[in-house]
Structure 1
Amino acid sequence: MLQPYTYILINFFTIIICFIASFHKKIQFHKYFGTFSISATIVAIPFIIWDIWFTKMGVWWFNNSYTINAIIAGLPIEEWLFFICIPFSCVFTYYCLNKFYDLSWANAFNNIIVFISSIICILVALLHYQQTYTLVTAVITAAVLLYLHFIARQDWIGQASLVYTILMLGFFPVNGILTGTGIQSPIVNYNPEEFLGIKMLTIPVEDAVYGYSQFLLNIYIFNLLVKRKNKVKEHHTIAVTQ
């Protein structure tokens, strides 16, 4: 009876607890809803284009038995919402953990994380260039890491990677259901010729790497907008006091 609502319920339960907790007086993440909306939209654009392209190519496709069957540009409406709901929970978790705990020690591993991850991604891309999902995921993830570390000079990659590791506790049930764990058939189906075939339960390993690059970009854009917002407030305060 609930089958057509499966995907939308996944989005709902992914975001609802974080959304309610955002209004807690010790967290007050609701003050950043506007900032998050802008950053999530900016990051979502290239990933949605990627999604539409891969769906059209048959790299993956959706089982509409688990959706309300509202399709936009070849994607179920739930898939569009996915790029808001998942990043919201991830950015919220990152915000909270850094607010209440000192995770800066993890940044001592920035160089190691970027070096090892980039080398692995580049090698995988070279060795498996015929698998489209594997190739694109590896190239984009390496590019994101190298850009953030060497060009944007971001010093939080270590703590972000630690938070993403913690987020795996939510990643497995959410992506597990999407890829077929606990249900009769997957909501998202993958062409076996387009990825490595290495799975964590029912989840292609590429999904975790894909999610990592998306997470890093969301944190990056969100932080940039927050800093810009704070500078505007600071300048305004100085102007008023003068």
Structure 2
Amino acid sequence: MWQYTYLAINFFTIIICFIFSFHPKIKFHRHFKAFLLSSIVVALFFIAWDVWFTANGVWWFNDKYLIGKRLFGLPIEELLFFICIPFSCVFTYFCLDKFFKLDWKPSVEKVFVIISIITCLILAILFKDKIYSLVTFLTTAFTLMVLYFVLKVKWIGKASFIYLVLMPGFLAVNGILTGTGLDSPIVNYNPKDFIGFRILTIPIEDTVYGYEMILWNLFFFHKFKKDEQN
């Protein structure tokens, strides 16, 4: 039964959100196409990142918790991760944005983005010898700069707040993946490649990695959803 652990994590991450997608007051199912397109576009980059890191031993997977099928050197469960996690996050964003006014004042959002960019750049410099830390902080700084200053999106503050709301679920899912409650982690990290600071069993870089991934999913979801309406 242990070989279904990662698969079960993906399933239970998505199933409640999927069911409520058909609720008459939510109707998220109307945007399944926009979500799938956005998640596939974003997954291409993150899977390439994942493949490279796995091939170079930055992280690796415990076969005890996997069904044994791999593609591009990654467990099939890891590929599903890039659909299931974004689905629950984008769905939650869609619901909260639909029923609550969560927009930030432009001046506050701008200060938040600038501080976040500077913080990521400083951390990238400080931990430039840690490949996971360096790549994560650099690409997140780049993401914030491009989304806010080039693409002119106006929802980064709102998305950041919702990501914070999602943090308990993130900690639960990533906690199990990194070993919380298990005899050994599903995903293992090379100690020399990340800072070493963890929330429970979760490397702090994972929270930033997830934040960056969700921002890009939201950007393309907005884009493809808008295309649907035209």
Alignment RMSD: 0.9
Letter in 2 for 1:116: I
CA deviations on 1:86-119 (whole Å, 9 max, x unpaired) are 0000000000000011101365531122111111
Task: Please list the CA deviations of residues 177-228 of structure 1 after superposition, one character each: whole Å capped at 9, or x if unmatched.
Answer: 0000000000000000000001000000000000000010000000011112
| Counterparts of 1:6 and 1:20, CA distance in 2 | 21
Task: Name 1:209's counterpart in structure 2.
Answer: 208
Q: Measure the CA separation in 1 of the matches of 2:104 and 2:5.
A: 40
Q: Which amino acid aligns with 1:56?
A: A
If the length of structure 1 is used for normalisation, what is the TM-score?
A: 0.93
- Aligned-residue sequence identity (percent) comes to 55
- Residue type at the aligned position of 1:172: L
Q: Distance in 2 between matches of 1:105 and 1:198?
A: 30
User: Which residue number in structure 2 is paired with residue 93 of structure 1?
Assistant: 92
Map of 1:62 onto structure 2: 61
Q: Provide the C-alpha distance between the structure 2 equivalents of 1:226 and 1:66, rounded to a whole number of angstroms.
A: 36
Q: 1:121 — aligned with what?
A: 120
Alpha-carbon contact 1:107-1:157 (below 8 Å) kept: no
Asked if the contact 1:107–1:156 (Cα under 8 Å) also holds between the matched residues in 2, the reply is no
Higher RCO (Cα < 8 Å, 6 or more apart): 2
Residue type at the aligned position of 1:58: G
Residue number in structure 1 paired with 2:3? 4
Q: Which runs of 4+ in 1 moved over 2 A?
A: 105-109
Q: Which ranges of structure 2 fall in alignment gaps of 5 or more residues?
A: none
Q: TM-score, normalised by structure 2?
A: 0.98
Structure 1 or 2, whichever has the larger Rg, is 1
1:196 and 1:106, CA in 2 relative to 1: closer, same or farther beyond 3 A? Answer: farther
- Whether 2:141 is the aligned partner of 1:142: answer yes
Does residue 84 (structure 1) correspond to residue 75 (structure 2)? The answer is no
Aligned to 1:183: 182
2:222 counterpart of 1:223: yes
Would you say 1:171 and 2:170 are equivalent positions?
yes
Residue segments in structure 1 that go unaligned for 5+ positions in a row: 232-242
Kindly tell me the number of residue pairs found equivalent between the two proteins.
Answer: 230
